[in-house]
A and B are shown apart, each in its own frame.
Chain A
Amino acid sequence: MKAIKSLGLACLALAISASMMQSCNGSGTGSGTDSTANKPGDDNTILGAGSTFDNPLFSKMFSEYNKTNGLKVNYQSIGSGGGIQQLTSKTVDFGASDAPLNGKQDSALSSPVIHIPVTAGAVVLSYNLPEVKDTLNITPDVLSQIFLGEITKWNDPKIAAINKGVKLPATAILVAHRSDGSGTTAIFTSYLDKVSEEWHTKVGKGGSVNWPIGLGGKGNEGVAGSVKQTPGAIGYVELAYAVQNNMPFAKMQNKAGNYIIPSIASVTAAANITIPADAKVSLTNTEATDGYPISGFSWVLVYKEQKYDNHSADKATKMIKLIQWMLHDGQQFSAPLNYAPLSPAAVAVGDAQLKTVTYDGKPVLQ
């Protein structure tokens, strides 16, 4: 009796799982037939994932593109690292990242990925000194020493020397940094890594590093909160965030020796340099004389060979056309959202990169 009952129960379980599988299959084949019957139905949605920094700009660009071309883009802003992972596992059609792929990420890929610069951003240094009305000047040397914990007071002679005529208070410096891994941190630390030998040996560069000093805040808002609330604090946030929240920020001395106010124009200027053909270039400590030194590109990442899994030629063409549009017409949406429009040099390299994309060996763009 018992055996029969357990058999019955097993049958029941089997039946349930079978019916579930059947329903899954059913829906699967259903959508499959849908897509064959009505081709654009499936190929008209492009999946992307990555950088949170790009998200506001992408939302605007994709909704504008949708109005004219009817293409749907589903972009998940899960962070650059996550976007790269999803692209590696081929669950998305394109990735977006604030940092170019590193060696380890490159080797995890099954086929080459190209970098197309789509926008540029900057990291600014915001501070809280109620007594100081003028905009502070900061040199790379002073900046690295502040973030290494070697300059601890605002009236340090090194700061005073580059800010003549500014009455600096004797307040202790409180360093605020991002606690979450971020592209902002990657740009900032790659700058410090370039300009300071000591930073290079002690800390290095990355999306999250072992900070020698300071308080971590989660997100731009966390850092901004610490800076706003604590007199004597200094922290780094994205340019767009600082502008939108009316935060004071410092002028940075660039490689040419000029003190540059971070702005959309000075970031675009920073990107107007000779860009290598693969576009994997760091803009930090730019050579441009009027460029803001802590700037960086944000890239869209796509596979060079678009024929993989069941990726259709139609979808590949639509996606590449979208990226091409982002490089040209899409750039008009950058400035109103406080993103720096691409420099002509960057657009040229992006176009050249797009032309190398192939589908089954044939170029996607004719």
Chain B
Amino acid sequence: MESTANSDLITRPDSMLGRVISSAKIRDAVKGIKRIKRSHRQIRTENVFKRSLTIIALLTVVLVFGIMLTLIWQSMMSIKTSGLGFLWGKTWDPVRDIFGTYPFMLGTLLTSFLALFISIPFSFAVGIFLGEYYPKGWVSNLLKNTVELIAAVPSVIYGFWGLAVLVPIVRSFESLIGVAPVGLGIFTSSLILSVMIIPYAASLGRSMIQMVPSNLKEAAYSLGATRWEVIRSVILPYTKSGLFAGILLSLGRALGETMAVTMVIGNTSLIPHSIFAPGNTMASVIANEFTEADHPVYLSALIELGLVLFLVTVVINMIGKRLIKRFTTD
């Protein structure tokens, strides 16, 4: 093929040699057919690939909607019996079939946002340190891998660690500041959660900061900016939407975290009066009570609780997306 192509190139401009041209024409035609055949095959592969991608992508969408529909379908009984009171009812009493999720909603939001609040300084610090100060070298590798390891530890281990180590520390802290020294509660769960969610914002922040164009930074340096000034007025504004996306990812993780929280939150259906009080989250109630939900309305109420958690996550994500968009267009 290669040689004929070369001979074509040579013979084609040479119009004097008719025979060569004609034979070249035949070869050309043959090659053309081959090329068409090959391109047909290529196009087909291309199409099959594209179509399977579409199907798989659509399956994911179908799956999410399927989950939502199943949740709605299974919770119909509870929606009918509890109505809207399900959302702001303050009592959760499986014996009398009174189901109100307000204390759990409060618990979920309190622990998640408190955890986010505690974790942000750490995750941003790690992100900036790894992205800007030490992007290479063994120190950075060690730190990067350690932070990623935080995400890889199973949550039940955090729960055990929390129960064995963190709870006694929090208890002595609580007796120091003069609140009931229980140890378990919303504050302890927020601490555990904050550790668990650091890697999400940190690793996204790191890659965002590394992607800041160096000419921007160099321009700032050439104007006499210090490192801190470059970070503050070039890197952070440039990466804010990415950093925010990292926070959102962390929040999503915090909202749904079940096992570790269940082990240290104190699991009471009473409304928490302070951040040191025990509480309960939606996920932990489901985990605790699903196995022994012994009558249909109760089971349905737990599924509706799952639906509410699903919707809360969706709403928070949507608000977050909106905020990211606003940040980026500014």
Interface of A toward B, CB cutoff 8 Å: 5, 9, 78-82, 84, 99, 102, 104-105, 108, 172, 174, 179-183, 203-211, 214-218, 222, 225-226, 229-230
B233 to chain A: closest CB distance in Å?
49
Q: Is B292's beta carbon under 8 Å from chain A?
A: yes
Task: Count A-B contacts at CB 8 Å.
Answer: 104
Which B residues are in CB contact (< 8 Å) with A229? Answer: 167-168, 171, 183
Whether B92 contacts A79 by the Cβ 8 Å rule is no
The answer to whether B168 and A205 touch across the interface, beta carbons within 8 angstroms, is no
Q: Which residues of B contact A222 (CB under 8 A)?
A: 263
Chain A nearest CB, measured from B167 CB (Å)? 7
- B291 close to A78 (CB less than 8 A): yes
How many B residues have CB within 8 A of the partner chain? 39
Chain B residues closer than 8 Å to A79, beta-carbon distance: 291-292
Q: In the assembly, what is the distance between CA of A82 and CA of B48, in Å?
A: 45
Say yes or no: A102-B295 contact (C-beta < 8 A), given A180-B288, A211-B268, A230-B171. yes
Flag if A207 contacts B269 (CB, 8 Å).
Answer: no
Contacts A81-B292, A208-B292; A217 near B93 (Cβ below 8 A):
no
**Residue B296, interface by CB 8 Å:** yes
Give 16 A-B contacts (CB < 8 Å), ordered by A residue. Answer: A78-B291, A79-B292, A82-B292, A104-B294, A104-B295, A108-B296, A179-B267, A204-B96, A207-B94, A210-B93, A210-B269, A215-B268, A215-B278, A218-B263, A225-B163, A229-B183
A210 touches B267 (CB 8 A): no
Contact B296 A216 (CB under 8 A): no
Q: B182 to A218, Cβ gap below 8 A?
A: no
Q: What are the residues of chain B within 8 A of A225 when measuring CB–CB?
A: 163
Closest to A215 in B: B266
Given known contacts A211-B269, A225-B163, A84 and B47 CB-to-CB distance under 8 angstroms: no
Inside 8 A of A215's CB, which chain B residues have their CB?
Answer: 182, 184, 266-268, 278
Task: Using A214-B268, A218-B288 as known contacts, say yes or no to A204 and B95 having CB atoms under 8 A apart.
Answer: yes
The answer on a CB contact under 8 Å between B292 and A182 is yes
Within B47-88, which residues are at the interface with A (CB < 8 Å)? 47-48, 51
Q: Which of B98, B263, B288 contacts A181 (CB 8 A)?
A: B288
A209 touches B293 (CB 8 A): no
- Asked if B44 is an interface residue, CB under 8 A from chain A, the answer is yes
* Closest beta carbon of chain B to A150's beta carbon, Å: 16
Our pick among A81, A183, A208 for the contact of B288 (Cβ within 8 Å) is A208
Closest 7 CB pairs of A and B: A181-B292, A216-B267, A179-B267, A204-B95, A210-B93, A79-B291, A81-B294
Residues on the B chain within 8 Å of A84, using CB: 294
B91 adjacent to A210 (CB under 8 Å): yes
> Which residue of chain A is the closest to B262 with respect to CB atoms?
A218
B294 in contact with A209 (CB, 8 Å): no
Contact partners of B293 in chain A: CB under 8 A: 81, 181
Contact (Cβ within 8 A) A230 B294: no
Contact at B292–A80, with CB atoms within 8 Å? Answer: yes
A217 and B267 within 8 A (CB): yes
Q: A174-B182, A210-B269 are in contact. Are A180 and B93 (CB under 8 A)?
A: no
What 18 additional pairs, Cβ within 8 angstroms, besides A81-B291, A215-B267, A230-B183? Answer: A82-B292, A104-B295, A179-B288, A180-B288, A181-B293, A181-B294, A204-B96, A206-B94, A206-B294, A209-B94, A210-B91, A211-B268, A211-B269, A215-B268, A216-B278, A216-B280, A217-B267, A229-B171
CB distance from A169 to the nearest CB of B (A): 15
Interface hub of B263, B278, B287, B292 (most chain A Cβ within 10 A): B292
Whole-angstrom distance from the CB of A97 to the nearest CB of chain B? 9
Instruction: Mark B82-112 against chain A: 1 for CB-CB distance below 8 A, else 0.
Output: 0000000001111110100000000000000
Interface-central residue, B47, B51, B168, B268, by most chain A CB under 10 Å: B268
Contacting B44 at CB < 8 Å: which of A5, A108, A172? A5
Query: Given the complex, which residues of B lie within 8 Å of A216, measured CB to CB?
Result: 266-268, 278, 280, 288
Closest to B159 in A: A218
Contact B48 A206 (CB under 8 A): no
Q: Is B289 an interface residue (CB 8 A)?
A: yes
Within B195-219, the residues touching A (CB, 8 Å) are: none
Residues B24-63 near A (CB distance < 8 A): 44, 47-48, 51
Q: Which residues of B contact A108 (CB under 8 A)?
A: 296
| CA A99 to CA B294, docked complex, whole Å | 11
How close is A236's CB to chain B, nearest CB, in angstroms?
A: 15
Cα A215 to Cα B262 with chains together (Å): 11
A67-B288 Cα distance, complex, nearest whole Å: 37
Contact B48 A181 (CB under 8 A): no
The contact of A180 among B48, B184, B291, B296, by CB within 8 Å, is B291
CA distance A103 to B256 in the complex (A): 35
A183 to B167, CA, bound (A): 27
The interface centre, meaning the residue of A84, A179, A211, A225 with most chain B CB atoms within 10 A of its CB, is A179
Contact, CB under 8 Å: B51 / A210 = no
